[in-house]
Copies of this chain bind each other. A is one copy, B any other.
């Protein structure tokens, strides 16, 4: 058992709330600060992509005993539904039988997590803005504005769970030898909605992650419990087809008629929402170190914000907390060691999932509509089913396993090299499921230095 500490967590988002539950259950006094109003008392903002909970996320919830409550607000999606214009709807299984990602509304999940934390005895201070932090002293300073009177609080430990634009990290960033980068992609996103049918049922298959891949841009839709779908349009900010060029309701109308004729009439309030909802930016944020001595640590997006195209942002943040808790178990009161091992073990994995997420934008928006790419996936799937000990597809390793992200990236790259050669076989379309292809893959794997298990 650890010595009881007085701990502040900055940020009441998903990762902050989960960490609060973990630390409270280990016997600490935990206070969570958030600059915003209690999310349980506000309307949702119209700027959230639905979340996809997968293995790492569930694992972290399970360990702290709250998995079942979250399962109740999640919908399993076991496949992609591909909406390619002038082609029939095409389904692509995510994994093996029984494997699925789970669609959850960010707002609903966040409210639930705060409830769970509060029930466990965590204290929440909403609408209290942290502006500065004394890293060595674990002291935080709050106030109405950056220039107003401030109040100070002294803790034993402070965790920054305050997201991509973290104030805690902002302070750490002023140290010499602190590495930091923020890189915005040129693609923005906008939330739209497909409401439920009159009888409360879903308008599209509710066990699928729907994608309308259109090359430079794409639309996705994920189901909600109430029969609606949360849609997200991803599109460049500037350029030929872009948010910039869709400036009028008529332009929005004709854009959807041209590119999304099958779904246009199902999206509610289309042209209205298009201009009412904000166009949001997406950022990859990296930094190091993540911790300061034995007093301060960053978790989740504040340490490693990623773009959403692998559906792993929350899962990676939740895994931070699992790992942190295992190290707490191992090292007890030696917080400096806990923090050091935490950042050293998580950093390469955070970098790897950042890279994989960035790459997946191209895969989702272009490649998923490409017959050659679909054939490649079929070959991989067949081989993997026959030789499960030799080939775990990249998506499955990331989504359905607990193997490190860094390993997934490395093995995925090796697999890609092998598949590039396979796809160059002249008559691959004809012989894809034959022995020759299978043997070629086996031979390539034998030569490889990485273990594919």
- Assess whether A181 is in contact with B184, with CB atoms less than 8 Å apart: no
Q: What is the size category of the interface that chain A forms with chain B?
A: 10 to 19
Which of B147, B173, B179, B184 interacts with A179 by CB under 8 Å?
B184
For the complex, give the distance between the alpha carbons of A177 and B281 in Å: 7
User: Does A180 sit at the interface, judged by CB under 8 A?
Assistant: yes
Tell me how far the C-beta of A419 lies from the nearest C-beta in chain B, rounded to whole angstroms.
Answer: 28
Nearest CB to that of A183 among chain B residues?
Answer: B179
Which residues on the B side are within 8 Å of A237 (C-beta)? 177
* A183 CA / B286 CA spacing, docked (Å): 11
Closest CB of chain B to A147's CB: distance in Å?
A: 7
Asked if A179 contacts B182 (CB within 8 A), the reply is: yes
The digit string for A316-335, where 1 denotes a CB below 8 A from any CB of B, is: 00000000000000000000
Closest CB in chain B relative to A166 CB, distance in Å: 13
Q: What's the number of copies of this chain in the assembled complex?
A: 2
- Chain B hits for A147, CB < 8 A: 147
Is the beta-carbon distance between A180 and B178 smaller than 8 angstroms? no
Task: List, in ascending order, chain B residues with CB within 8 A of A182's CB.
Answer: 173, 178-181
- Kindly provide the distance from the CB of A350 to the nearest chain B CB, expressed in whole angstroms: 16
The CA of A177 and the CA of B181, in the complex, are separated in Å by 12
A3 at the interface (CB under 8 A from B): no
A45 interfacial contact with B, CB 8 Å = no
Is the CB–CB distance between B180 and A180 below 8 Å? yes
- Within A167-226, the residues touching B (CB, 8 Å) are 173, 176-184
Q: CA of A173 to CA of B181 in the docked complex: distance in angstroms?
A: 11
**A150 vs chain B, min Cβ distance (A):** 8
A281 CB contacts on chain B under 8 angstroms: 176-177
Chain B: minimal CB distance from A131 (Å)? 10
18 contacting pairs across A/B (C-beta < 8 A):
A147-B147, A173-B182, A176-B184, A176-B281, A177-B184, A177-B237, A177-B281, A178-B182, A178-B184, A179-B182, A179-B183, A179-B184, A180-B180, A180-B181, A180-B182, A181-B181, A181-B182, A181-B183
Instruction: Knowing that A176-B184, A177-B237, A180-B182 touch, tell me 6 more A-B residue pairs with CB under 8 angstroms.
Output: A147-B147, A173-B182, A177-B281, A178-B182, A180-B180, A181-B182
